[in-house]
Structure 1
Amino acid sequence: MTAPRVLAVADSDSYLKWTAGLLDHMPAGWSRTLAVVRSPIAPSAEQIRSALNGTAAGTPDVLTARGVAQRVRRERPDVVVLGCTGPVVKVLSRMLPAADRPVLVSGLPGISVPASERAWVFRSAVDLFVVHSRREVAEFTEIAARLGLPGRVGFTRLPFLEPAPPAEVRDRVVFATQAKVPAAPADRERILLALAGLAELRPDLRVVVKLRALADEQQTHREDHHYQVLWRRMAQAGRVREDALHFDAGPMREHLARAAGFVTVSSTAALEAIAAGVPLLVLSDFGVNAEMINLVFEGSGCLGTLAELTEGTFKTPDPGWCAANYFHDPADETWLSHLAELLEDARAGRLPEPVHLPVWTHPLGEPRARLRLELSPAAFRRVDVLRRVLRRH
C-alpha cells in the first residue's frame, strides 16, 4: 500500500503554526505538502518564518481558493488538512469534490474551552476534528452527537509544545498579547503600566511585549487596539518612558528560551511557557470566564494579578492540572488511529457524504466569505468599504 499523500492548507499565522506542527507529527513516510490560502488575514513573510520556526516545513505556496480546489482535483491527495479559520473551512470544504474525495481534517490551534458549537458547524463537513485535551474531546463529541454530525473528534498534544533549548541566561519577561481580550483600551493600558512598573523595579530584566503581528500586519483575529499603538500614545502623553518596554514579534519559542517569566491574559502561549519550564502568570484582573478565554486556567495555580506582575511574582502550574489539561501521556492520543481508520474507509469508498450545516444568519454571509478568498486582499478591502458605506446610506 502506498504511503498517504497529505495536502495541508492554512490561512493565518496561528493556524499556519498549528498546521505545520500537525504535519510534523504524522508518520515519517507520509508525503506532506503545506500551502497558504490567499485571504485578508494571510500571514506576512516574517509571520510565516516565525510560524514555521522549529518545524520541518519549507516555505509554503500561496494559493487562491480556486487554486486549492484545482490542486486537490489534480493531485488527488488522500488527506486534506484545512488548518483554517471556520469561515474559510466552510468555503473550501464546499469547493472540494464530494465524490471519491479525500479525508478532510480540521481543528483548532489552541485552547478551546468551553467548546463552541459554531466552531463545529463551520467544520461540519470534516471527517476528523482535532483538539488537544480530554475535556475538549468530550465537549466537542457531545456537540457532534447533538447536531447529528458523522465526523470524529480526535486529540493530540498541541504540536508546538516542544520548547527550544534554554539559553544560558534567562533575562526577560515575555507578555503574550491576545487580539480579542481584554477588549477595552483602558484595560490594555493597565497591563502596559504594570509591565512598565516591573521594568522600573527590575532593570536587570528586559520586559518584552510579544506581538502576534506588528501594527501593519494581519492576524487570525482583528485587533482594534494594538498594544504598540497604545504604548506610543502613552509615551507621547508623558505617562510612560518610551524605552521601558520592548515590542517584538518573532517565534515565541525563541523568546521563551530566554524567559525568566511569562504573562498573558489568555493565550495558548501559556502552555508553551509551561512546556519550556518558565514560571508564569495568567492575569485574572479582568475576569476568569469564557468571555476572557481563560476559564480553563481555573485550578491551574497560574492565575495572578497585575500587582503580582509589577512585583515580578510568577507561578509554577499544578502538576495535576497539567496532566488533565494539554499535558497528557502521548500514548493516550487518538487522532492518528482515527485518521488511519478514515483512510481505510476512503480507500473502500465508505466515507460519508459531507454534511454542510447552515451557519450564516445573513443571506450574504457565505457569498461574502467566498469573496474574501476570490478577490485579492486589497480588492476585497475596497469592496468591503463600499459595502459599509452603502449600508450606512
Structure 2
Amino acid sequence: MPSRTSSETLRVAVLADSDTRWKWGALTARRITTTGTALTGFLLRGRATPTARQLAEVGVTADALREVTGAEFLRAVRDEGYDVVVLALVGGAVQALLHGLAALRLPRRPVLVTGYVGVVYEKLADGLLLRHGADVVLANSRHDADRFRAVYEGVGADASAVTEAALPFLGGAPYRRDAGHDDREVGRDTVVFAAQPSVPETRAERMYLLCRLTEHARRHPHREVLLKLRSKPGEHTTHLEELPYQKLADRLPGGLPPNVRLVYGNMGEVLDRTDLLITVSSTAALEALHRRIPTAVLTDFGVREALGNHHFLGSGLLTSWDALDGGHLPRPDERWLDRQGVAADGAYESAFDAARERVAELLDRPELPPVDPYYTAATAPGYLPGILARHHLAPDGTPLPVAAPATEPAGVRRLVRDAVRGAARGAYRHGVQRVAPVIRRMGAL
C-alpha cells in the first residue's frame, strides 16, 4: 500500500474509557498530529463511560463522538479507515485492542499510539507490558521515558516505541504572587484541595482530610477554601469512588464553614483562581507546578506507594497539614521539575516535537510492520487469554460472536436498548458506592 500524501486530511480515532482518558487522548491526538486532522472520538462502553455532564466539563470536542464496544470499535477501524489510532485506555484494554487490531490484518493499518493520563506511580511493569505493541508509547517526562525503556529492555522487548512528550493538558497563564503585576483580584487568597477518587481509600482517612480542610478554613477565615471534586455521586472517572466527599461533607459535625465550597469544572479554570494547591498525589499538582502555582503534597498518611505521593520524593513539595496551618509554603526543586516534564520555563511548546516527528515518519512509510505485542500465547499463556476474554475477544484476537452483532438496532429498539444500558450502569454504580461498602463492613464484623 502507498503511504499517504501530506495534502490529505489525517483521519485520527481516539478510543477512551473514562472522562480523564478522553481528555488525555483527544488533546494528545491534537498535539502529535499536524493541521488538517479529522478527529473521531469513541467512548468504550463500561463502568466509567463518561456522562454528558462529564464530557462538557472536560471541554474537549471531536468532529464526531460515539459510544462503542471493543468489537464495534474494531469494525469501525476496519470499515472507516483511520491513519492514527490513539488508545486512551487502561492497560488490559490497550493489550486486548492491540491484539484485536492485529487480527484485522488490514492492507494498511493505522499508526497506534498509547500512554498514560497522569502520574505513573503503580503497576509500572504490568501497565507498560500491557501497552507494548503500540507504535508509540508516550512518556509524560524524561523520568518516565527512562523508566519505560528500562522495563522493556529488562524483558528483552523492543523499546523503540517509547517517546518522550508531556501531559497534553498543561497550560494556562503563569501565576504571579504580586497582585500588582497581573489581573488577580487584590487581596485574593484561594486554597484548593484536589480530591482523588481512590486516594486515600478508607472512610477514616477521607474524613480526616475533610476535617483538616475545614479546620484550615476556620484558622484562616480570610481564605476561600475550595474542595475540587472530580465527579458527582453516581458518576465514575478513571478510578472507582466508593466514598464521595459530597456525602461525607453532609455528615461533618457542624457542617462546612462559610468559606469552604465544593466545586466541579475544568481544572484549568479552577487553577486560574488558585493561590495554593493541596493534594495527596493528584496529577493536578503537575498542572499547578507548570503554572508556578504554590503546591503542597501531603504526608499526613505517610509517604507510600499505595498513595502515590512517593512520586514526589525530591520535589520539595512534601509537607503536612500542620505545616500548612502554620503558614509553610513549599518551594519546588527545579531539577525535579525539569525531569518531570513540568516545563514552567516555556519549553512546553517543543515537548511534543519528538512525538510528532515519529508519527509523521511512521505515516510516511510505505508499509507498517505487523502489530507485535510482548504478550503472546507463547510468552503469557496463563495471562493473555483472560485479558482478551474480558474484552470479548478470542485467543486469536478476533471478536467472540456475542460481541459482534450483525447490525445496530435503530428507532425504538435503539431507544429501549440505550435506556436499559443507562439503567444497568446506574444500578452498577449504586452497587459500587452503596451496597459493596456495606457488605465489606459486615464481613469485617
Tell whether 2:21 aligns with 1:5.
Answer: no
1:12 touches 1:42 (CA, 8 Å); kept in 2?
Answer: yes
Matched, 1:30 2:52: no
Q: Gaps (5+ residues) in structure 1? A: none
Deviations 1:159-203 (A, max 9, x none): 111125876334421111122222222122221111101211222
Change (3 A) 1:92 1:291: same
Alignment-mate amino acid for residue 129 of structure 1: V
Q: 2:148 maps to what in 1?
A: 140
- Alignment correspondent of 1:254: 269
1-structure distance, mates of 2:125, 2:373: 18
Following superposition, the deviation at residue 83 of structure 1 comes to 0.8
Query: Aligned AA for 1:84?
Result: L
Aligned to 1:303: 318
What corresponds to 1:162 in structure 2?
A: 171
Among candidates 114, 118, 121, match of residue 126 of structure 2: 118
**How does the TM-score come out when normalised to structure 2?**
0.77
Secondary structure at 1:40 match in 2? coil
1:39 aligns with 2:46: yes
For 2:251, what is the secondary structure of its paired residue?
helix
Where do 5+ consecutive residues of structure 2 fail to align?
176-182, 394-401, 404-419
Amino acid at match of 2:211: L
Letter of the structure 1 residue corresponding to residue 168 of structure 2: P
State which of 359, 372, 379 in structure 2 corresponds to 1:339: 359
Contact 2:47 2:428 in 1 (8 A): no
CA 1:291/1:65 → structure 2, altered by over 3 Å: closer, same or farther?
Answer: same
| 1:50-129 matched pairs, under 5 angstroms | 50-52=57-59, 55=60, 57=62, 60-96=65-101, 97-99=104-106, 100-113=108-121, 116-129=124-137
Q: Which aligned pairs between 1:129-208 and structure 2 lie closer than 5 A?
A: 129-150=137-158, 152-163=161-172, 168-169=184-185, 170-208=188-226
Larger mean CA deviation between 169-178 and 68-77 belongs to 169-178
**Contact 2:118–2:167 (CA under 8 A) maintained in structure 1:** yes
In structure 2, the CA distance between the partners of 1:124 and 1:380, relative to structure 1 (3 Å rule), is farther
Equivalent position of 2:299 in the other structure = 284
Distance in 2 (alpha carbons) for counterparts of 1:360 and 1:313 = 51
- Cα gap change, 1:261/1:251 in structure 2, threshold over 3 Å: closer, same or farther? same
Structure number, greater radius of gyration: 2
Instruction: Out of 314-323 and 249-258, give the one that drifted further.
Output: 314-323
Deviations 1:46-66 (A, max 9, x none): 2111223xx564673223323
Aligned pairs for 1:219-238 (under 5 A) are 219-234=237-252, 238=253
Contact 1:11 1:38 in 2 (8 A): yes
| 1:84 CA displacement | 1.2
C-alpha distance in 2 between matches for 1:13 and 1:62: 13
Partners in 2 of 1:312 and 1:359 — Cα distance? 56
Contact kept, 8 Å, 2:48 with 2:236, in 1: the verdict is: yes
Identity of aligned residues (%): 31
User: Closer, same or farther in 2 for the Cα pair 1:76/1:365, shift >3 Å?
Assistant: closer
Length-normalised TM-score, structure 1? 0.86
Of stretches 10-19 and 166-175 in structure 1, the one that deviates more from structure 2 is 166-175
Which range is displaced more, 191-200 or 96-105? 96-105
Aligned residues: 381
CA contact (8 A) 2:218 2:257 kept: no
Which residue identity lines up with residue 135 of structure 1 in the other structure? H
Asked whether the 8 Å contact 1:198–1:312 carries over to 2, the reply is no
SS in 2 for 1:5: strand
Measure the CA separation in 2 of the matches of 1:176 and 1:115.
Answer: 23
- Residue aligned with 1:259, SS: coil
User: Tell me, what secondary structure is at the counterpart of 1:137?
Assistant: helix
What SS class does the counterpart of residue 32 from structure 1 fall into? Answer: strand
Cα offset for 1:140? Answer: 0.9
Q: Distance in 2 between matches of 1:43 and 1:105?
A: 21
How far apart are the structure 1 equivalents of 2:65 and 2:9? 21
Aligned residue type for 1:51: V
Instruction: Give 1:132 shift.
Output: 0.8
Change (3 A) 1:296 1:359: farther
Q: State the Cα distance separating 1:337 from its structure 2 match.
A: 2.3
Residue 14 of structure 1 aligns with an amino acid whose one-letter code is T
